[in-house]
Amino acid sequence: MTSFRFGVNFLDPGTREEWFGKCRRAEGLGYDVINVADHLGMPAPFPSLVLAGEVTERPRLGTFVLNAGFWNPVLLAREVATTDTLLGGRLDLGLGTGYVKAEFEAAGLPWETPGRKVDRLEAMVGELARLFADPEVRPRPFAASGPPLLIGGAGDRVLRLAAAHADIVGFTGARSGPDGELSLVGAAEFAERVAFFDRHAAGRTVEKNVLVQRVVVTDDREEAARGLAPYAPGMTLEEILELPTLLVGTHREIADRIRHLRDTYGIGYITVLEPMLEVFAPVIGELR
């Protein structure tokens, strides 16, 4: 049976002391992975993870996920190898295409078509694998093949890429609009995306992750669903409560929903966003 792992995605920059406190708190609450996103206005991933490694012992430390359009493959390989070595092999490398148009514009980078962004991600995955496999390239990652690779996304090409190359696939449960705005997909479309991935990953063992957008602990699920309606326009309350990306109910009910994700889709790795760090922690206890 698929085992559970729980991650938190930290979003807010802060002082050195605040960062240390957040990382220690996440470890103390039982989280298995401390992740950092790759958005402008949020903490820079690699120095943040190195510092996280200094004040924690057990959690893995991940990029969730790097925007492939922001990075040069050779320079990224150097960052990854150095960070992985300094962390003693605790790094998880998450990659995605990037989806926020305003961030590309602010960085002075071209905003390309979805297909071209996937081309860049695919090239990045191949080039990193080549560089990590070359014993002459310095610095070296902790393991000869590099850190475990997570590829996150929802489109056909990204999921096929993950099926062929990733150690972990991250299901976003959302689609992005032309300028990068996200809208959550319904349970049926989410199930279809997982099934699509499964067909292409046949014969490979790939851990499955889902990024949860909101966790609401309540005794009144229907009332809470009304408050979440802006996250899922056009969906009924019943449809909202079925979404894998919105967890609503008592701690026990949420734990049961996560068991459902595991038993139905094989998803055992759950990531929540920083604002849900504390409220989700009792669910970890329920499931363990």
pLDDT in tens, 81-92: 999 999 999 999
Between CA 269 and CA 211 the distance in angstroms is 9
Tokens encoding 87? 């962390």
Residues 256-277: tens digit of each pLDDT: 999 999 999 999 999 999 999 9
Check pLDDT > 90 for residue 228. Answer: yes
Residues 202-215: tens digit of each pLDDT: 889 999 999 999 99
Average pLDDT of the residues of the chain: 96
What proportions of the chain, in percent to the nearest 5, are helix, strand and coil? 50, 20, 30
| Fold entry, domain 5-287 | TIM Barrel (3.20.20)
Tokens encoding 226? 């009304």
Between CA 253 and CA 121 the distance in angstroms is 37
The whole-model pTM stands at: 0.96
Which pLDDT score is estimated for 57? 98
How far from 202 is each of 126, 129, 160, 190, 225, CA to CA, in Å? Answer: 21, 21, 11, 19, 36
